[in-house]
Structures are given as C-alpha cells and as structure tokens.
C-alpha cells in the first residue's frame, strides 16, 4: 500500500509515517471479539495518536531533512537509502542489504526486501539495531509507567497480536483494503466473513477516537493536530492503521512498555515463512535477528511469522504459504438446545473436555484425525433414548458407537457437511489450478485462489476420510437413524 500521500496530511499518523520502516508496507491486523491478551490494537492506536515528532526517531529524521534542505514531501529515494541512514544513527552490526524486485501490482511499484550481503551460517547475527532506532510506546510517551498503563488497559476488546507481523511476498494489500469486487474472490471461504467483521471493528475503533482523545487530553497536550475524526476521514485512518500495524513486532522478555516495537529492517522488509524459527529478539540495548539457516550472498532473509493458518497470513500479511504446516480450518459444532436431554449432554461433553458449542481445528495433513476427534461429540448429539443417555453419563471417556444406524447417521451428516462446504465455492480445484497457471493473473486474485484452493484440499481430505469410515461399516444396508435433535455444524 502506498501511504506516501499521508505524509502531507494533517493526520495524527503523519509522525509515524516519516519513519523509514513504513515506506513499503502492505499488511494488516488480527482481531478477536474478546481478547485476554495485551491489546495491541489499542497500543497501535495510541502509538499513532500519542506520538509527537520530538519523542520519536521520526522526529529526528524530520530534523535531519530540514537541516539538509530536504522537504518531507520528497520521495524516500531522494533522501537516501535506509541502511545508510541507520549507519549514521548507530546501527551496531549489519550483514544484510536492501534489494528490490519488480511488482505485478497496478502501480508497478518495486518490492523492497532484506537480503544477505555476505555468506551467513546458522546462528549468525544478520543485523543488530540499537534501541535508539526502535520505536516503542515507552519512547513515544517518554514515560514507562504511562506506557504500561496504556498497554494493559481495555479501551478496546477487538484485537489480539500475533507473534510476528509482516507483508505479502507478492506485495498484495491485506483484504481489509480490498474492494467489494475483490473480496468476491474469497466467496465460499470463511475468511471473507472474517475480513468484513474486522473491518467493522476498525470502524468502531475510529468512532471511539474522539472519546479517547478527550479522556486522555493530558497525553496530547503537545499534539499539534485537531480532533481525530475532524482531522482525517475513516479511509485514511484505516489505511494508516493497517500500514502501522503491519510493522509492529512483538518482542519477548521485555517490559510491557517496550513489548510492541517498530524496528528498522524488520517488517515489512523481511520475508516470511511458516517453517522458519528465526525471530527478532531483544538483547542488551538492541534488537537483533539471528538466522536459523545458512545463506549465500543475495539470498532473501526469512523469519518466522508465527503459528498462523493461511487465512490469517492473508489478512495479516497479504500472502499465502503453500507449505504452511500450521494451516487449518475451523468447524463449529453445537448441541441442540431444544433437545430435552440437552443439559445431560452438555454435562457429558464438559466431562470430556468439550463445550455445548465446540470449535474443532482441522489441521492440514491431519484431516482423518480431526474427523475421528469430532465423532464422539456428534454421537452424543444423536443419543435419543434416555437409557442410552444414562449409559453415556455413567461411562468414562469419549462416546463409542451406540448403534450401527446411529453411526451411519453421524457419518452421513458429516459427509453432507463437507460436500455443502465445497459446493459453496464458485470454482473447482481444477479451475483453481488453471487460474494459477495463468502468469497474467492479478496478484489479489492469485493469493485468494491460493487460499481457497488450499481450503478445498483440506475439506476434500476430510470428506474422503469420512467416506472411508462409511465404507468400513460392517453393514451397508443399515439406514441412518432419525435424529430430531442432531447437532449443528457450521
């Protein structure tokens, strides 16, 4: 996403947007309705709103620009490269170089990334950035106590921070910034509904900005801008917020005031892989990256993006990882509340570590195991005879098959569910493969197709596993039992 035009607005995001780290970001944020974790969404908002140019590295950059006669409206290339700027400001060690490759987006902007400037071995420090070049909430506010207070409060319950954040390898914007037509590329995928829900959450946050502004006026007494919603429209807020949040790094083993950081050479310049274990870490007086594999000169440096499924990688970073061992889909199963034996079934479910509304995670490569994990819960929902229910309550462990007709009914429902999910996609796997073979396919359509293709593979594997279990039934002539209170599947 090109955020350079925001540098000339009166938006309160302007100070952060002068930070070199934000020159090429294309990712977004992750939400949950209620998070018990530190609220990074609020932290990001406060880093944007509470900052002023005298308390941030961005301010120093601005002063350098002014003293050298370079105005803030000029392109970053005119100001000089990021690495040189960092060296002038105390970069401790650096074995990487900034490179660029062509982009296929509509503006043909080059993609900048961090690559090895020399051969590296596993365990080598790729770069070490002094804390003086790292922006944290403590630096923004100039007070650790206030920073920790703002980090832990609950002004917003919408967000959770994934361990690492970055941007797509294809320079694709987060679906949070896609048009309605582009979001239709995700038809059939649960990711589409998640994107819309998160967009509504951002809107609610925007509507709360003025309240926060007035409640925390003392924090903004040196702030030169107007009331937030009067100073900039929602679209600018959303784009700027996505740009800032895409660069936030979650540092471990530091105080809350320094946990969320903007690190030069970090996101979005680093490449991300799910099978990598290298992470940005805080050491004495610096943030460094220790590589987990050997590199030859010119190789892109990769870091771990956290144990995230491809749906979150797309929403958070704008890319999909074909080799993501953490990829998964979620199936929601619920006991029927109209069932006369609902309370007994709820008790039996809780005794086996399940809830009346249970979310099952189906991991790639473990689809059969996931189906087997769901069966005891579904069997519980099919129990109708009170004597059978008493046997369930008096037994230990998960529910075994009660009868051949019930087992057939459970498996039929599960197979029908997977077939319905697959029918909800407008394209088949074969059509997806044909689309991906087209070199001219636009990047957003490509990553969306990659995502739905991988989802369909998981669902197909689940369906095949269920069909295999049906074929293993001893008597195929048995008709499914009626189920007036069958559990629901979503």
**Per DSSP, what are the bridge partners of residue 271?**
302
d(CA 264, CA 450): 30
Q: Mean pLDDT throughout 255-263? A: 84
Q: Which of 45-59, 221-235, 440-454 has the lowest mean pLDDT?
A: 45-59
Q: Are 364 and 327 in contact (CB under 8 A)?
A: yes
d(CA 42, CA 35): 12
pLDDT tens-digit map of 140-160:
766 566 555 555 543 332 234
pLDDT tens-digit map of 325-376:
999 999 999 999 999 999 999 999 999 999 999 999 999 999 999 999 999 9
Q: At a CB cut-off of 8 Å and minimum separation 6, what does 59 contact? A: 15, 52, 53
Q: Which helix (H) or strand (E) holds 333?
A: strand 328-334
d(CA 208, CA 156): 9
Pick from 56, 11, 33, 45: nearest CA to 153:
45
d(CA 363, CA 385): 34
Q: At a CB cut-off of 8 Å and minimum separation 6, what does 161 contact? A: 30, 37, 38, 40, 248, 250, 260
d(CA 165, CA 249): 6
Report the percent of the chain where pLDDT is more than 90. 41
pLDDT tens-digit map of 371-430:
999 999 999 999 998 888 988 888 888 888 888 899 999 999 999 999 999 999 999 999
The pLDDT mean for the chain works out to: 77
CA distances from 411 to 219, 328, 374, 481 (A): 59, 21, 10, 11
Does residue 106 have a pLDDT over 90? no
Q: At a CB cut-off of 8 Å and minimum separation 6, what does 260 contact? A: 38, 40, 43, 44, 47, 136, 137, 151, 161, 248, 249, 250, 251
459 pLDDT band, cuts 50/70/90, is very high
Q: Are 165 and 249 in contact (CB under 8 A)?
A: yes
Q: Mean pLDDT throughout 280-297? A: 93
pLDDT tens-digit map of 36-73:
334 444 444 444 444 333 333 333 334 444 443 333 43
d(CA 124, CA 295): 10
Triad 282, 285, 290: Cα angle to 5°: 40
What is the pTM (predicted TM-score) of this model?
0.77
Q: Are strands 286-290 and 125-130 parallel, antiparallel or unpaired?
A: antiparallel
């Amino acid at each position: 996403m090109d955020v350079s035009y925001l540098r000339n607005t009166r938006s309160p995001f302007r100070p952060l947007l002068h930070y070199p780290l934000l020159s090429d970001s294309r990712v977004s944020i992750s939400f949950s309705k209620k998070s018990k974790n530190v609220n990074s969404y609020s932290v990001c908002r406060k880093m944007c709103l509470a900052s002023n140019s005298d308390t941030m590295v961005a301010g120093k950059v601005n002063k350098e620009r002014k003293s050298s006669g370079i105005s803030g409206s000029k392109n970053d290339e005119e100001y000089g490269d990021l690495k040189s700027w960092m060296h002038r400001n105390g970069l401790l060690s650096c074995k990487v170089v900034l490179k660029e490759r062509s982009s296929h987006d509509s503006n043909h902007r080059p993609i900048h990334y961090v690559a090895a400037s020399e051969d590296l071995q596993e365990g080598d420090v790729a770069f070490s950035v002094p804390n003086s070049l790292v922006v944290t909430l403590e630096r923004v506010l100039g007070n650790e106590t206030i920073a920790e207070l703002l980090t832990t409060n609950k002004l917003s319950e919408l967000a959770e921070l994934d361990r690492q954040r970055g941007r797509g390898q294809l320079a694709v914007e987060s679906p949070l910034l896609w048009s309605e037509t582009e979001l239709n590329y995700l038809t059939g995928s649960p990711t589409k509904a998640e994107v819309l829900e998160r967009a509504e959450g951002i809107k609610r946050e925007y509507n709360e900005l003025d309240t926060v502004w007035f409640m925390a006026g003392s924090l903004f007494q040196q702030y030169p801008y107007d009331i937030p919603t009067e100073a900039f429209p929602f679209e600018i807020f959303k784009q700027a917020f996505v740009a800032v949040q895409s660069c936030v790094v979650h540092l471990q083993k530091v105080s809350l005031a320094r946990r969320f950081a903007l690190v030069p050479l970090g996101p979005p310049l680093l490449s991300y892989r799910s099978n990598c274990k290298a992470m940005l870490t805080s050491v004495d007086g610096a943030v460094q990256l220790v590589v987990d594999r050997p590199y030859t000169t010119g190789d892109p440096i990769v870091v771990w993006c956290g144990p995230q499924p491809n749906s979150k990688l797309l929403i958070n970073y704008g890319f999909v990882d074909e080799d993501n061992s953490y990829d998964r889909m979620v199936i929601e199963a619920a006991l029927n509340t109209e069932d006369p034996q609902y309370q007994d079934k709820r008790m039996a479910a809780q005794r086996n570590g399940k809830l009346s509304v249970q979310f099952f995670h189906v991991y790639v490569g473990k689809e059969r195991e996931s189906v087997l994990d769901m069966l005891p819960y579904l069997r519980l929902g099919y129990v109708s005879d009170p004597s059978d229910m008493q046997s369930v309550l008096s037994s230990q462990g998960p529910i075994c098959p009660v009868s051949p007709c019930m087992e057939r009914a459970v498996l039929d429902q599960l197979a029908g569910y997977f077939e319905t999910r697959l029918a909800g996609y407008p394209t088949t796997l074969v059509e997806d493969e044909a689309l991906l073979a087209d070199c001219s396919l636009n990047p957003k359509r490509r990553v969306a197709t990659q995502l739905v293709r991988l989802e369909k593979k998981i669902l197909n594997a689940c369906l095949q596993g269920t069909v295999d279990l049906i074929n293993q039934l001893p008597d195929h002539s048995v008709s499914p039992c009626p189920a007036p209170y069958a559990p629901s599947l979503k």
